[in-house]
Amino acid sequence: MKHFLTRIRAFLVAAKNTVTRCVKTLTKDNVKHFLFGMKMTDGFVYKFVIHALLISLGYIYLYPVFYMVITSFMSMSDLVSANVRWIPSSLNWDNYRLVWEAINYPRALREALMLAFFPALAATVSSALIGYGFAKYRFPFKRTLMVLMILTFIVPPQITMIPTFRMYANYGLLGSVRAFIYPAILGQGFNGAIYILIFYSFFRMIPKSLEESAQLDGASPWQVFTKIAVPLAVPAIIIVFLFSFVWYYNETYVSGIFLGYRVSTEPTGDWLLMTLPLRVEQFFAQYDALFPVGSPARELIQSSRMAGNLLAILPLLVLYFFTQRFFVESIDKTGITGE
Amino acid sequence: MKNLLATIGRFYYQTYLPFKDKVIYRLTHNRLLRSTHTDLVIFGKINVAITNRRRESVVGLAFILLWIIGYLVFALYPVFYTLYLSFFNVFLDGRALRLEFVGIGNYQAAFLQDPYFVDVLVNYTLELILNVPVTIVFALIIAMLINQNVRGRGVWRTIFFLPVIISSGPVIAELMNQGATTLPSIANYTFIDMILNNIGTFLSNPLQALFEQILLVLWFAGIQILILLAGLQKIDKSIYEAAQIDGASPWESFWKITLPSIMPLIAVSIIYTVVSMSVFSLNAVVVYIRHTMYGLATSDLTTGYGYSATMAWIYFLVMAIIIGIFIGIISLRGRLKQ
C-alpha cells in the first residue's frame, strides 16, 4: 500500500514538473515565435493563411473538374436518380469505353500530340529569337514594329477568318500540319505575339553588363544569345513551350477551319487529321444527330460527354505534372549583384 | 608592300581557313560587296561606314527577320483587308465578293443606326476595366502562393495550371452550358445584394456582372499565373535576404522588391488578359459581330461582312485604347517613383 502511495506521489511530482515546464515555455515570446516564426514567413499564422488561401482558391478550380470526373463515372440510372448527386453508386467505365472506341483514342492521341508538339517547338524557338532581337538591340522603327505586332494580336481571329482562310487556301496549306508549323516558325502562330512579349520581358531582365563582358571576351551576338541569354531564360522557355503546346492542342475554332473540319453529322469513312478535342466534339455532333433534342438518349449522353472531355485534356495534365519540376527554384546563375 | 600582304592573305584564306570561314570570306569580299575594317563598299563605289550603331541595328534586324517575313506573309493581308472591307458593303455572289463603296457610312451606322452595338460595347468595356485588375491581382496572389515553400507544391501547381488547360479549349464552353462555372452560393449572400442596391446602377451593373463571373475571371487567370510565377522565380533570393537584414518586413519587401521587378511581366499579363477576354468566343461583342457577319447582306448598312468588319475595327480600337491606358498607368507609376 505504502509502495503504491509513493508511486502515486512520484507520478504527481512528475506531472507537476511537466506542467510547470510547459507554463514556463508558454511565455509571450514563445507564443509569438510559434505564431509568427523567426521572420514572419515561417510562423503558424502565416502558414495557416497560405494554406487557407490555397485550399479555397484550389477548390474553385477543382470544382468543375470534380464535377466532370464524377459525372463521367455515372451510369444512366445514377444520372436520373435524385438520390445520387456527388458519389456515383458504382465506378462505371462504360462511358470511357464508349468514347475510347468511338474515336480510336490511341491513334487520335498520337496525331493530336504531333499536331501540338511540332508547332509548339517551332513557336518557342522563333519567339525566343524574335523576343531577344526586340529586347536587346536598337534599330530603326522598333517601336512601330512592336505596335504592329500587338495590333495584329488584338484583332479577334473570328473577324479576320474569311480573308485568312482564303489566304491559306492560296498558299495550299490547308488540311495538314504545315498550316500550323509555317506560321509558328515565322512567329505568327496562335498567340504568337504573347510568346514574343514574354521572351521580350525576360531578356530585358538580364543585366546588360553580363552580355557586355561576354562581348569583350570576343563572343559573337549569336554566341551571346545561345550561351548566355538562353540558359538564363529557362523559365520563359518552359512557359512558352507549355502554353503554346496547350494552345495548339486545345484550340478548336481556327484549327478546325485550317484542318478542313466540318461538323459532319454523318460518320464518314475517311480519317481526317484532327486535334483530340475536335474529334471528341465531332463524335458527339454525330451522336446528337442520331437522337433528336429531348429524347432520353440525348440527355443521358451527358456523362459520356464528360468522359470524352476528360480523355481529351488528360495528356495535358500529365505533361504539366512532369514539366512543372523544371521551374527550378531560383536561377541565380547571373553572378552579378547590385544591378 | 600592299601586294605582298594581299598575296599572303590570299594564300592564308585558300589553304588554312576552315570551310565555313571561306564561305564567309567569299560573301564579304567580292565585287558587289567588300568589307574593309571600317567601311562596307557596295558595287565598288558606294562607301558605307560601319558604325557600332549600324552594326547593332543590322544584328537586331537579323534576329527579328523571321518575324518580319512572317508578318508580311501571314498577318498583314487579313488584318488590312478587313480594314479595307470596312469601308464597303459586301455582298456574297456565290463564291465571289461583290463590293460597294460606302465610305465611312458603316462607321456612322455603327454609332447612329445600330440599336445594340454601342450598348453592348460600352457594357463590355466597363466590365473589362473592372475584370482586368481583379484578374491580375488574383493571378499575382496565386503566383506568390505557389512560389512559397509549401508541402506538395507539385500538386498545387498542377491544380493552378488547370485553368490554362480548360479555358483554352472547348471544355470551358461545355462547363458553362452545364452551369458548373458559377458558384451557386454567391447569389445567396444578401450582403452583396445590399451593396449593389445602394450604389448607382452605372456602377452596380458591372459589379454584379463581376460577382456573377468571378469564377470565369479566375479561370482566365491561368496563363497570367504562370507568367508571373516565372517572373517571381527569376528574382534573386539574396536581395530578399539583404532587405530582411536591413529590417524590411515581408510586406515592405513585396512593394519594394517583388512588385518593381515583375512590373514588365505584369504589363505583359495585362495585355494578355485584355486580349484573351476580348477574343473569347462567348463574349458578347464577338458574338454580336459574328451574328452580323453571317447575316445576309442587304442594302441596309447594318448587316453583312463589311459592317461586321467595321464593328471589329471599332472594337479593336477600344481595346487598344484600354491596353494603352493600363500600360500608361503602370509606366507612369514607374516614372514617378524615379
| Contact between B77 and A170 (Cβ < 8 Å) | no
- Predicted pLDDT of residue B107: 84
Q: How confident is the model at residue B198 (pLDDT cuts 50, 70, 90)?
A: low
Note whether B312 contacts A156, CB cutoff 8 Å: yes
- Predicted pLDDT of residue A131: 93
Contacts of B308 in chain A (CB under 8 A): 159
Domain boundaries, chain B: 2-63, 68-101, 105-337
Nearest to B60 among A138, A187, A337 (CB): A138
Note whether B70 contacts A325, CB cutoff 8 Å: no
Note whether B145 contacts A157, CB cutoff 8 Å: no
Q: What is the C-alpha separation between A230 and A136, in angstroms, rounded?
A: 13
Nearest to A309 among B81, B174, B293 (CB): B174
Tens of pLDDT, residues B111-131: 888 778 888 888 888 888 888
In single-letter form, the type of residue at position B203 comes to: L
Instruction: Check whether A36 has a pLDDT greater than 80.
Output: no
| Distance (Å) of CA B54 to CA B10, B50, B71 | 28, 6, 23
CATH of domain A95-326: 1.10.3720.10
Q: Is B334 on the interface with A (CB under 8 A)?
A: no
Residues 95-134 of B with CB under 8 A from A: none
- pLDDT higher at B174 or B101: B101
Nearest to B271, CA basis, from B309, B227, B308: B227
Domain boundaries B105-337, CATH class: mainly alpha
Q: How confident is the model at residue B212 (pLDDT cuts 50, 70, 90)?
A: low
Contacts of A126 in chain B (CB under 8 A): 66-67, 70
CA angle A165, B109, B91 (to 5 degrees): 40
Note whether A158 contacts B244, CB cutoff 8 Å: no
Domain boundaries, chain A: 2-90, 95-326
Nearest to A155 among B161, B229, B316 (CB): B316
| Distance (Å) of CA A236 to CA A198, A200, B62, B121 | 7, 10, 22, 35
Instruction: Check whether B299 has a pLDDT greater than 60.
Output: no
In this predicted complex, what is the ipTM? 0.76
* Residues above pLDDT 90, as percent of chain B: 2
Note whether A194 contacts B275, CB cutoff 8 Å: yes
Instruction: Check whether A37 has a pLDDT greater than 70.
Output: no
Per DSSP bridges, beta strands B33-35 and B39-42 are antiparallel
Q: What is the C-alpha separation between A188 and B90, in angstroms, rounded?
A: 28
Residue in chain B nearest A319 by alpha carbon: B158
Mean pLDDT calculated for residue range B7-27: 77
- Predicted pLDDT of residue B180: 58
Mean pLDDT calculated for residue range B221-227: 83
Q: What is the C-alpha separation between B137 and B144, in angstroms, rounded?
A: 11
Give the total residue count for chain B.
338
Alpha-helical runs (H) found in A155-262: 157-171, 178-185, 192-205, 208-216, 221-224, 230-232, 234-250, 253-258
Q: Is A309 on the interface with B (CB under 8 A)?
A: yes
Note whether A158 contacts B145, CB cutoff 8 Å: no
Note whether B312 contacts A142, CB cutoff 8 Å: no
Instruction: Check whether A125 has a pLDDT greater than 90.
Output: yes
Mean pLDDT calculated for residue range A28-55: 73
Note whether B79 contacts A160, CB cutoff 8 Å: yes
